[in-house]
Amino acid sequence: MSSEGDTTLKSICYKPGSLQLLDQRKLPLETTYLEIRDTADGWSAIQEMVVRGAPAIAIAAALSLAVEVFDFNGFDGSCEDAVAFLEKKLDYLVSSRPTAVNLADAALKLKQVVAKALASSAIEPKSIFKAYIEAAESMLEDDVASNKSIGTFGSSLLRQQAKNHDKLSVLTHCNTGSLATAGYGTALGVIRALHTQGVLERAYCTETRPFNQGSRLTAFELVHEKIPATLIADSAAAALMKDGRVDGVIVGADRVASNGDTANKIGTYSLALCAKHHKIPFYVAAPLTSVDLSLSSGKEIVIEERTPKELLNTRGGLGERIAAPGISVWNPAFDVTPAALIAGIITEKGVVTKNGSDAFDIRSFAQKMIGN
């Protein structure tokens, strides 16, 4: 295989003062990068699904503000004003996709960075902005390293728990690869790692209606990486499992509660139920930034509802109308899979497992690992 740098797609192209985002709405037929000049551009790109995937959303948001303040020599205000300006912009960016906890987590960490810069006797606003930019850039670098660790831990786990350690077929949902992260991917990163190790027989990806992230994006990545793959209709997953073609199911996450209940793309819950019935292990792959320890269970996760057009029109709302005029629509972007249906949660620090119950103790795991 070619080196990682030669093959991996990039949803985020950044250099100091410049940010371009791959317009994923136009994939796989057209490859177009949009210039992001400020937080208004960043907010629109996130809300309109130019960029998607919880890790990529957080990084794109952070960098859109970094680009905006890159050349702020003429900022008319004090250091305190600079901190207030950044905090207000971060709050604005968080409102673009409320279910993705990575975005809120990144905003909180960046607020802490600028507060620390202010407390360290910053003498001019420029130093506050510089501290912010450096922190945002670090998030971009850290995400790739985090994803590769998830791939390593995940591939090891799937091989250990598979009937045939050297020949696995894996089903995934939505898009969790390079296009959903800074590069490499979470659940798709595990599949990539299995392929690199020579043990992946086949990856199956669902089309992931109504926005078709599976057929448009995951299939695009798998073909690009020359990974053996097959696209299936969302409704074909149970039949595929019944035929014995799936050794494991692995998905990403937009938000994980402290007990392991996981919010992910709509249709994930259905896959988990099917996997349970067919005695196939179901895994979640996500960085610890996707875990919201303030939530005791998935019942507290707010589920975003998207425009009816995604169901009423072809191409996830971007094409011609196909639904009957006058029909009402329910279009939740996510569903919540109970922890009881999840065999393990794969993070960059290791695998969270259950201790004799249907729930995970992610709080203890996170405290132990972050403490190390």
Whether the pLDDT of residue 5 is over 70: the answer is: no
Residues 106 and 58: beta-carbon distance below 8 Å: yes
What ranges do the domains of the chain cover? 12-143, 163-371
Residue with token string 């207030």? 84
CATH assignment of 163-371? 3.40.50.10470
Give me the chain's average pLDDT, please: 93
Cis? peptide before 28, omega within 30° of 0: yes
- pLDDT (0 to 100) of residue 371: 66
Active site residues: 254
Write the pLDDT tens digit of every residue in 297-343.
Answer: 999 999 999 999 999 999 889 899 999 999 999 999 999 999 999 99
- Predicted confidence at residue 159, as pLDDT, reads 96
Per residue in 177-193, pLDDT tens? 999 998 899 999 999 99
Give the tokens for residue 290: 């996707």
pTM: 0.87
The residue that leads in pLDDT, 202 or 100, is: 202
pLDDT of residue 175 exceeding 60, the answer is: yes
Residues 6 or more apart whose CB falls under 8 angstroms from that of 277 comprise 238, 241
What pLDDT does 3 receive?
35
Specify the CATH superfamily of domain 12-143.
Answer: translation initiation factor eif-2b, domain 1 (1.20.120.420)
Q: What is the pLDDT of residue 7?
A: 52
Task: Give residue 299's pLDDT.
Answer: 97
CA dist 309 and 229 (Å) reads: 30
The least confident of 3-17, 41-55, 143-157, 271-285 is 3-17
Q: Which string of b and e fits 196-227 if b means at least 16 CB within 10 Å?
A: eeebbebbbbbbbbbbbbbbbbbbbbbeebeb
Segment 90-96 shows an average pLDDT of 96
Residue 40 in this model has a pLDDT that exceeds 50 = yes
